[in-house]
Amino acid sequence: MSISAIMGISLSGMQAQQTRLAATANNVANAMTPGYDRLETSFTSRAQGGVSATVAPSDGPVPDDTSNVDLASEMLSLVETEIGFKANAAAWETGADIWDVLLSIKRD
């Protein structure tokens, strides 16, 4: 697997976490909105490597006078998103560092 492919996989992971973060932020912002149906993010592996994220309303019932958002679950989602994003960013930076080393070797 090439370095650029590895960096592409890491980038797709960061983009998927960004999608999850946007959905979670939307849930937190609408936690007190009556009838709001929380958004759920699902991740799917891509055949060429990496991951994609899709967002859809939850399957659970939505009360008329409240929302189905649990703020504790949303905070956990934020922590998981941060960890996932940082892991993918670290992998991407490692790939960038390897590119730099290879370019410096080629110039010498």
Nearest CA to 14 out of 64, 46, 52, 41 is that of: 52
Report the predicted TM-score, pTM, of the whole model to 2 decimal places: 0.86
pLDDT digits (tens, 9 = 90+) for 3-29: 889 899 999 999 999 999 999 999 999
Joined tokens for residue 53: 């994220």
- pLDDT exceeding 90 applies to what percent of the chain? 73
Sign of the alpha-carbon dihedral angle for 94, 102, 16, 1: negative
**Bigger pLDDT: 89 vs 68:** 89
pLDDT digits (tens, 9 = 90+) for 37-62: 999 999 999 998 999 999 999 887 77
Map out the domains of the chain as residue ranges: 3-107
Nearest CA to 11 out of 40, 53, 73 is that of: 53
Could you tell me the CA-to-CA distances from 76 to 13, 25, 73, 80, 87 in Å, in that order?
18, 12, 5, 6, 17
Give the confidence band of 88 by pLDDT, cuts at 50, 70, 90: very high
Three-state DSSP state, 54: strand
